[in-house]
Amino acid sequence: MTQYPWKMVCTSCDAEYPALEVRYRCDCGSTLDVKHDLARFTDGRAPAPTRQGFDARLASRKRLDRSGVWRFRELILPLEPENVVTKPEGNTNLYPAPRVASWAGMDALWLKHEGENPTGSFKDRGMTAGMSAARALGMERVAVASTGNTSASVASYAAQAGMKAYVFVPDGNIAYGKLCQALAYGARTLQIRGDFDAAMSLVQAVCQKEGIYLLNSVNPFRIEGQKAIGMEIVQDLDWQVPDWIVVPGGNLGNNTAIAKGLVEMKAVGLIDRLPRIAVIQAAGANPLYNAWHSDGVLRPVKAKTLASAIKIGDPVSFGRSWGWLKALGGVVEQVTDQEIMDAKAQVDAQGIGAEPASCATVAGLKKLVASGIISPQAQVCGVLTGHVLKDPDAAVAYHRGTLEGIESSSANKPVVVDAQLDSVLRALD
């Protein structure tokens, strides 16, 4: 039996479980984290990862080295290479965004565009890790509940791995760029007459009953893959740590993962300080915001926001995210749908483009600068989680001025003109 250099540890009661088994929660009901044996790098049992080593992999032609997740494999999941299912993923651009920066009141701003992953969202980073664990475990069927992007990702990776994927999505509440992918990649797609939270509890019950492997971010290996977002940001910045990383918060997997990865990088001496992290929730889907600013108790909400990717009222990673948020001096902000769409108009007009949920990042940044929590001179890296084409309806409706309840103050309206030269010339301005 393979000895892997990690174990699973309960995020509440510290109970320990073997490295690789079909298990998502502790017997006490809490989520599990992967606890790496990082001491092996300092006591000589394994060569310590170095900045130079990771940089050298950027020039390699090996499949694992070329992945923006597996490049950091010693700190992600040291699995057998033959079990790794990779596209490869990651290697997303870190864009300077000067106009978005000045709109948000900042001197400068970096935007890490996770929408540039193979299926158009950051989910691919967690999925490559989760799907590889599924293969190592000998699983043949995988399932997720999803607001859309996870379904696109699992469908694509399962197709690549030759596994059967089942996706549970809220009926009528999934953007077409995502539903289209789930169907096209061949996942069995169940449109649940209910919201994401209902789909989430159903998929857990079905996986348990049917022995299907659950690949939602409650799966600790998904979190391990998503750690690479923060690792790649630091490598992109030539190993400088930004002052702040800003992310949208739905199920709260991303903020957990980014923080965990950076804390582990610091523990092995790859960085010498930690950034602060800001999590931005939609005001209509804000259980973390409410808990953070009151007694710390999760009170699920009936989620309502047009940023469908973060329309989540009962986040599965709430418990495990808390300690990591504290470790990075976290702050939590909320933004209205109007603020999200205003921010999206700015991000899109910079020529970068992202789906609504991603733009909560920039909307929240603007608020945190206005309230003096983030200094205009700080080095900030905002994470854009999904591609603009994931939700074309939201963008087109915004620019046509037909998005219900939203004022399209930066609309770029399409113009209908007669097919005659003088009409076209008049319409140019």
Ligand X SMILES: Cc1ncc(COP(=O)(O)O)c(C=O)c1O
- Residues of this chain that interact with ligand X (CB under 6 A) are 121, 147, 149-150, 217, 248-254, 309-310, 355, 357-358, 385-386
Residue 114 to residue 385: CA distance in whole angstroms: 5
Residue 189 beta carbon to ligand X: minimum distance, rounded to whole angstroms: 16
For the CB of residue 287, give the shortest distance to Zn ion in the complex, in Å.
Answer: 21
- The angle that helices 176-184 and 149-161 make with each other, rounded to 10 degrees, is 20
Binding partner at 380 among Zn ion, ligand X, none, C-beta below 5 to 8 Å by kind: none
Candidate residues 10, 97, 199, 265; the one interacting with Zn ion per rule CB under 5 A: 10
Q: DSSP character for 241?
A: P
Q: Residue 12, interface with Zn ion (CB under 5 A)?
A: yes
- 346 makes contact, choosing from ligand X, Zn ion, none, with CB < 5 to 8 Å by partner type, with none
- Per partner kind, with CB cut-offs from 5 to 8 A, the member of Zn ion, ligand X, none near residue 15 is Zn ion
Instruction: Assess 17 for contact with Zn ion (CB under 5 A).
Output: no
| 427 binds Zn ion, rule: CB under 5 A | no
Residue 61: DSSP 8-state: -
- Interaction between residue 13 and Zn ion (CB under 5 A): yes
Residues 6+ apart with CB under 8 A from 419: none
x/- track of binding to Zn ion for residues 26-65 (CB under 5 A): x-x-x-----------------------------------
**Minimum CB distance to Zn ion smaller for 28 or for 424:** 28
**In the complex, least distance from residue 169 CB atom to ligand X, rounded to whole angstroms:** 11
Between 85 and 258, whose beta carbon lies closer to ligand X? 258
Contacts of residue 157, Cβ cutoff 8 Å, sequence gap at least 6: 85, 87, 124, 127, 128, 131
The region, left, alpha or beta by phi > 0 then psi within -120 to 50, assigned to residue 314 is beta
Shortest spacing between CB 405 and ligand X, in angstroms: 21
Query: Which of 128, 21, 24 shows the shortest CA–CA distance to 83?
Result: 128
139 binds, among Zn ion, ligand X, none (CB under 5 to 8 A by kind): none
In the three-class reduction of DSSP (H, G, I as helix; E, B as strand; rest coil), residue 404 is classed as coil
Kindly list the strands in the beta sheet with 244-248, ordered across the sheet, starting from the edge strand earlier in the chain.
Answer: 94-96, 110-113, 380-384, 244-248, 276-282, 331-335
CA distances from 177 to 153, 249, 311, 391 (A): 12, 21, 17, 6
Residue 218 within binding range of Zn ion, rule CB under 5 A = no
